[in-house]
Amino acid sequence: MKTPTPIEQLLQLRSPPVALTFRATPPANVPRVDQAAPSGCTFWKRAAEGQTFYTEASDHYNCPIGSYTHGINLPPKQMNELQNVIGTMVSLGYLRMEEVPGIPKRESSFGVAIYAPLSETPCEPDVVLIRGNAKQVMLLAEAAQAAGVGVEGGLMGRPTCASVPAVLKSGYSSTNLACIGNRVYTDLADDELYFALPGKALATVAEKLTTILKANDELKKYHQQRLATIKGGTNGK
């Protein structure tokens, strides 16, 4: 039986955190993914289900948006699909064309991407992807803030995969509301969202999370008592 990571245990997550690492070449004893996926975030789901594997650029070609955010050079056919998808989003009023240049993307050349459950990652992750409900993500955000890698720039949204290059570039965490594509491909529940943090900060965030959980427990008691006092009309008025 797998041993849950400290963050997984502390937050009682329904889905294990996922480790994502970018390398020029695949590590030894890690297999290539056995089949391409309809989206890049599908690989997140497979890793959360217990698979450890690496992907090459061509394994991402079915996902033009994800390929773009991950810095993958697309062949002409897939590049045309990317342009068509963006055009559809713009025509639907889902996206404004002037937003496109601002979507985060990896600038480094894509070699391979290694996916694994965090508890079984074969190498130190560049980014840790955590799915949870609003309270769990609130606690993570507070722990990341205490660790000095708190969220910068507010909430992120579409595309969800843009959180990966955003974290890589900034060195800070990202809270992402997730997009409809991600919710379809990963079976993300309506009450769930994502929190992405830099792998190098994982141990510190886990340590701070213990403190944050204890602090929230005590503050909950304080606020509950205060609310009861005010409701009871004994607030000094």
Q: Which of 4, 222, 7, 40 is nearest to 136 (CA)?
A: 7
CA distance 169 to 183: 25
Name the more confident of 2 and 54.
Answer: 54
Average pLDDT (149-176) is: 91
The per-residue b/e assignment along 94-131, b for 16 or more CB within 10 angstroms, e otherwise, is ebeeeeeeebbbbeeebebbbbbbbeebeeebbbbbbb
Confidence of residue 234 (pLDDT cuts 50, 70, 90): low
Q: Is the pLDDT of residue 111 over 70?
A: yes
17 cis-preceded (ω within 30 degrees of 0): no
**CA distance linking residue 129 with residue 112, whole number of Å:** 17
Does the pLDDT value for residue 9 go beyond 60?
yes
Give pLDDT, residue 23.
Answer: 96
Q: Is the dihedral of CA 217, 222, 228, 230 positive or negative?
A: negative
pLDDT digits (tens, 9 = 90+) for 135-152: 999 999 999 999 999 987
Per-residue pLDDT tens over the stretch 21-63:
999 999 999 999 998 899 999 999 999 999 999 999 999 998 9
- Domains in the chain: boundaries: 6-231
Q: Give whole-number Cα distances, 181 to 24, 28, 85, 184, 205, in Å.
A: 28, 33, 12, 5, 29
